[in-house]
Structure 1
Amino acid sequence: MERKAANMESDTTTSSPQLVITPCAACKILRRRCADKCVLAPYFPPTHPAKFTTAHRVFGASNIIKFLQELPECQRADAVSSMVYEASARIRDPVYGCAGAICHLQKQVNELQAQLARAQAELVNMQFQHANLVALICMQMSETPQESHQQSVDNFISSPSHSSDYQNNLNFFEENTSLNSLWEPLWT
Structure 2
Amino acid sequence: MEKSAETNTASTAVVVGSSSPCAACKILRRRCRENCELGPYFPSMEPLKFTIAHRVFGASNIIKLLQDLPESQRGDAVNSMVYEASARIRDPIYGCAGSIFHLQRQINDLQGELAKAQAEVLRMHCQQANLMTLIWKELGQVPQPPMHDHQSLNDPYNIASPQSYHSYSYLFEECNVLEPMWT
The TM-score normalised by the length of structure 2 is 0.71
Task: Give the aligned residue type for 2:124.
Answer: M
- 1:11 alignment partner in structure 2: 6
Whole-Å separation in 2 of the counterparts to 1:102 and 1:65? 27
- Displacement of 1:36 in angstroms is 1.5
| Shift in alpha-carbon separation, 1:14–1:84, aligned structure 2, 3 A | closer
Report SS of the residue matched to 2:114.
helix
Q: Unaligned 5+ residue runs, structure 2?
A: 142-183
Matched ranges for 1:95-110 at <5 A = 95-110=93-108
- 1:76 alignment partner in structure 2: 74
- 2:90 alignment partner in structure 1: 92
Whole-Å separation in 2 of the counterparts to 1:110 and 1:60? 36
Q: Unaligned 5+ residue runs, structure 1?
A: 1-5, 144-188
Report SS of the residue matched to 2:134.
helix
- Displacement of 1:94 in angstroms is 0.2
Matched ranges for 1:14-53 at <5 A = 17-18=12-13, 19=16, 20-53=18-51
Whole-Å separation in 2 of the counterparts to 1:78 and 1:69? 14
Larger Rg over CA atoms:
1
- Displacement of 1:136 in angstroms is 0.5
* Higher helix content, 1 or 2: 1
Task: Give the aligned residue type for 1:61.
Answer: A
Residues 106-154 of structure 1 show CA distances to partners (whole Å, capped at 9, x for unaligned) of 00000000110011011001001101100100111127xxxxxxxxxxx
| Shift in alpha-carbon separation, 1:14–1:113, aligned structure 2, 3 A | closer
| Shift in alpha-carbon separation, 1:14–1:49, aligned structure 2, 3 A | closer
Whole-Å separation in 2 of the counterparts to 1:12 and 1:96? 58
Structure number with higher relative contact order (C-alpha < 8 Å, ≥ 6 residues apart): 2
- 1:55 alignment partner in structure 2: 53
Of residues 98, 118, 127 in structure 1, which corresponds to 2:116?
118
Aligned-residue RMSD, C-alpha = 1.6
